Amino acid sequence: MKRNKRERQALLTETIKENPFITDEELADKFTVSVQTIRLDRLELSIPELRERIKNVAEKNFEDEVRSLPLEEVIGEIIDMDLDNSAISILDIKKEHVFKRNQIARGHHLFAQANSLAVAVINDELALTAKANIRFTRSVLEGERVVAKAKVISIDEEKGRTLVEVTSFVNSEIVFKGDFEMYRSHA
């Protein structure tokens, strides 16, 4: 559906607010306009380009926040963190992440992103994975960006276990889902 400019710009603002990591190409597709039109819209609306938006988010220093491991040990880049509640990271799938034969991302990289996010979200100096139940729902290809969202489902103080659900997306498609049962030293 073609929209007039005002409608489109309102929806554009809304869309980027909901998903700051959407590319201009994806926006152009979504609104059936050219990429150039999206760029002009962003200029008029003073919405920075994707690279800048990511940088803004990443500039927030999570180093002081994450307790269970040093930030550089997290696979992917953390862009949101609310300890013992939720967290988001992004991982750009590059050549080194895929099977040579078919350019499909290897499962253990998606697992590593999700698992390290499940560790990072725990508000404790010690967090280890006890169990995980995972599902790969759609192949991820080289060049795609995986956004992993972790949600703490429950904290069992007696058992010292925390349940973390991680769902990973490429754009709005779910590519991976994992339930992680995490061990922690203090609940």
First to last CA, the chain: 51
- The answer to whether 52 and 94 are in contact (CB under 8 A) is no
**Site track for its own copies across 101-130, x = CB under 8 A:** xx-x-xxx--xx--xx--------xx-xxx
d(CA 71, CA 120): 8
Interface with its own copies: number of residues (CB under 8 A) = 28
In the bound state with its own copies, the residue whose beta carbon lies nearer, of 9 and 123, is 123
Minimum CB separation of residue 146 from its own copies in Å reads: 14
Question: Dihedral of the CA atoms 28, 32, 36, 40 (nearest 10)?
Answer: -90
- The answer to whether 118 and 74 are in contact (CB under 8 A) is no
Task: Centre a 10 Å sphere on the Cβ of residue 29 and count the other Cβ atoms it contains.
Answer: 14
Provide the 3-class DSSP secondary structure of residue 132. Answer: strand
Give the binding range for its own copies (CB under 8 A) out of 4-12, 38-46, 56-64, 98-106: 98-106
Give the binding range for its own copies (CB under 8 A) out of 2-10, 76-84, 135-143, 167-175: 135-143
In the bound state with its own copies, the residue whose beta carbon lies nearer, of 21 and 136, is 136
Give the binding range for its own copies (CB under 8 A) out of 14-22, 27-35, 58-66, 68-76: 68-76
Question: Dihedral of the CA atoms 64, 66, 67, 72 (nearest 10)?
Answer: -90
Minimum CB separation of residue 172 from its own copies in Å reads: 21
Q: Within 60-129, where are the H helices?
A: 107-120
In the bound state with its own copies, the residue whose beta carbon lies nearer, of 33 and 105, is 105
73 is an interface residue for its own copies by CB under 8 A: yes
Minimum CB separation of residue 101 from its own copies in Å reads: 7
Beta strands in 34-144 (DSSP E): 77-82, 86-92, 127-136
Minimum CB separation of residue 128 from its own copies in Å reads: 7
Q: Which residues bind its own copies (CB under 8 A)?
A: 69-70, 73, 75, 99-102, 104, 106-108, 111-112, 115-116, 125-126, 128-136, 139
